[in-house]
Structure 1
Amino acid sequence: MASDPNNSGASAQEFEVVSMEGYDEEYDDLISLETMDRSSPDLFPQRINGLTDLASLGNEAGTPPWEAPLTPEDISMLHHYSTFTLSALIIEVRKLYDKAYQLGLDEAKEMTRGKYLNILNRRRPNKPDGE
């Protein structure tokens, strides 16, 4: 694709014209005329102050949980799950998936509620210098 020397004020994006030689009419419904000359949309364009503070708290932990030594409770749980049959273990995993899904729904509901009540946009009071 060659640029036109007379058109110095051309847009930054130029598009190549595609030839329709050998085009088969049975694929008419597959042609898209959409232009892709726009930037990607933001997934979460609105900044929520309370949420960004909460996310930054998670990065302050020193040792990741998977590198921490096993506690007696962890070892007990491992022994408990090791006695399960394959089908019982699958049922237990499905229960965990269901709980995680339900927690996600509850969290989405509470975040929406907080947004409507304008709870997350409130500023925190300044802490005294002694803390």
Structure 2
Amino acid sequence: MATNDPQNDTTELACVEESLMSLEKLDRASPDLWPEQRVNEFIAQNLPPTDQTSWSTALTSDDINQLHQLGNLTVTGLIAEVKKLHDEAYQLGLEEAKEMTRGKYLNIFKNNK
């Protein structure tokens, strides 16, 4: 039978702690390289313009009607619409995979050099 020797348990615990010790030195200079002010400036420079009319200039009247229809949907209706779009995208992916496999077998992607 095994005995509960406190000294043996302490030795095993010390061995486990030593095996878990990391000698990696972490570089703590990151806040100095990117101080908060510079990060805020970087974010401000790379944000897209917030002009409300820039996204709507290329919309047709059909697009605007579609937006209004989607905006009037209930939560469940909107979820159903998203699921429908997800299913359509999945089906398109399956069709694309079939066509790519077909093209591979027909050697239409072969380089004619």
Alignment TM-score, normalising by the size of structure 2: 0.48
Give 1 or 2 for the bigger CA radius of gyration: 2
The one of the two structures with greater contact order (alpha-carbon pairs below 8 A, sep at least 6) is 1
Alignment TM-score, normalising by the size of structure 1: 0.42
